[in-house]
Structure 1
Amino acid sequence: MSYAPRLSRFGDSGDSGDYWPGFVDALATLLLVIVFLLSIFLVGQFALGRALTGRDEQLAQLNTQLSTLTDELSLARGENQRLTTEMTALRATLSDVEAERDELSDQLVIVLGRLDDTQATLVESESLNAEQTDQLTALNLQAQALRDQIAELSALLDAAEAREAELDSEIINLGERLNAALASRVAELARYRSEFFGRLREILGNRTGISIVGDRFVFESDVIFPSGSAAISSEGRESLEPVAQAIIQLTREIPDDIDWVIQIEGHTDPRPIRSTYPSNWHLSAARAISVINYFEDLGVPPQRMVAAGYGPYQPIAQGDTEDAYARNRRIELKLTSR
């Protein structure tokens, strides 16, 4: 049996079978694409790293400024306390000096009266003996001493009044500095509040039953609790968990010297309830406390939370419709100072 004819027929076909150059070109092209994508990825990572580094530097600078402002505020408060104490002591001294001056003035009037009487008597008698002369001299010396004491007390009184005016001016300046520092802290807290709500908007997206009303984050109670109950549902836990994580992150970012809390408020509709709770007051407070307990279980510091129950007495929707009732049954979160 001969194999030559078969090899000859295979070699004579129209397809030469040389696929390797095309395969190499495809691999080279794919490799170039991969290298290009890796280059873009590395450039993006570098840019992101630079941006994060800049943000960390800004945050560190802000913390330094807050620390400096806190020190200045503490010094201003101490100076204000010292000046207030000094002012109180000065006013007491001023009162004593005024009383002493008034007493000396009365004594001077008496001495001057006696002096006038003595001089009148001497004029009538038209003769002076040694005893009367000594008496007149003593009265003149006493009157002059009283005048000197009154002049000295008047000078002390003027100096005290000038010092009081100076202290008043310093206290006014310190008050303005304190107000400016407090205004700065309020503005700082407002900035953190804005960032906190912005973060919650990104986390929660457009979920039904969640909205922002003014400076408050509002959850409709139907999203969190079953009807007439303060036990958080599984869906409610799912909605509240990212909020708790945002609060924990906020706790790390706000400086410790800013005294802030998350106020958690419970609200109900005005219809009488038919449950184990005796009134809407109890139900609203119990729901706020349930949210706090759940947040605490997730790691939110308890000293940064406060519960309040308003019952049906702070509605945000008017009317007797089911939609109005649903909007008024809610849990509100507010970042505020304590």
Structure 2
Amino acid sequence: MILNKTRRRNLDYTWPGFVDALSSLLMVIIFVLMIFVLSQFFLSQKMSGQDEALVELKNNLTELSELLSIERESTTELTSQLSILESKIINLKTDLDEKKIIASQYIKEIAGKDNIISMTQIEIGKLKDIINQKNQDSLDDKNTLVQLTKDNKVKDSQIIDKQNKIRASQEEIKILISASLKLRNKLSQLQTLLSAYKAKDKKEKVKVISLGKDVNSALARRVEELQKFKSDFFGRVKALIKGRKEIRIVGDRFVFQSEVLFALGSDELGEKGKLEMIKLASTLMEIEKSLPTDIDWILQIDGHTDNLPVKPGQSYKDNWELSTKRALSVLRFLIKQGIKPNRLSASGYGSFQPIDNRNLVTARTKNRRIEMKITQSTKLK
């Protein structure tokens, strides 16, 4: 009787429910604050990284500008050299024309005068060498001009590439500035939202106090209704098992010996066990009809075995698996009889929760059992 009173007092969940409600509210507030702190940290990290990138881009832009000015000076110098070479070519052409005129004059003089025939071939050869040299110089100047033109085109191409890079850098700087502004706007929005939540929390504190009283009274009513349901269920099942030694009541549990429900070493519900479970399911469904639908109750089914090791060739590995399979067999049969799955729970404890620790046949028989009890659902809402 002392054990029964102790267990009934432990079924009062009013205060834990109230504490759970307050702790849930505190966790929500802490979670919101953590989100804000993390967002502040990541935003500051992002902003500092972007400032460093902007400084680096500005340095690159300065270097590119300096390179561009150097290339422009080089282009100006090449242009001036080109103009000098062109003037030299013009002078050479003028000299060549003059030499041609002189040569033609010499030829005319040789043709017109017999005394010019005495001119030595050496002088004529020298004149020819001079003319050839002038022609070669002119050809070299032309080649130099062509090479300078090609170099100038290469330089122009390099200048265009650098200008394109500068434009791309400027566009990237604009994008980074825009992203920085967006981040600042988001930070401002988060700060505004946090202020709104703080103001809302101040208003809700008053409501929580009044709601706590309602929750306590509602929980008390639900516990009372569940206790009434359990009492009614116990009374009817007691009437069913009256005078039967193989089915016992221990505290708030019904204890079915495994031999009533299963054959020795089997995890399949036997015919006798099915009849017992049909009666139990019928009683449970009949009582449930008079119970409010919003009361969360569960029929907990626990499987237990003796401490003898599992024999080779069985379909289960150990007593853990055997106890679990037996509990699941009962659970599945009750579902077939119409009990809702959300009202059932099954667990296996193997041989580790005996009710008789003696190493006797009678003790092992007691320990092979299926226990059932009505309890309250532990699901979170």
TM-score, structure 1 normalization: 0.50
Whose radius of gyration is greater, 1 or 2?
A: 2
TM-score, structure 2 normalization: 0.45
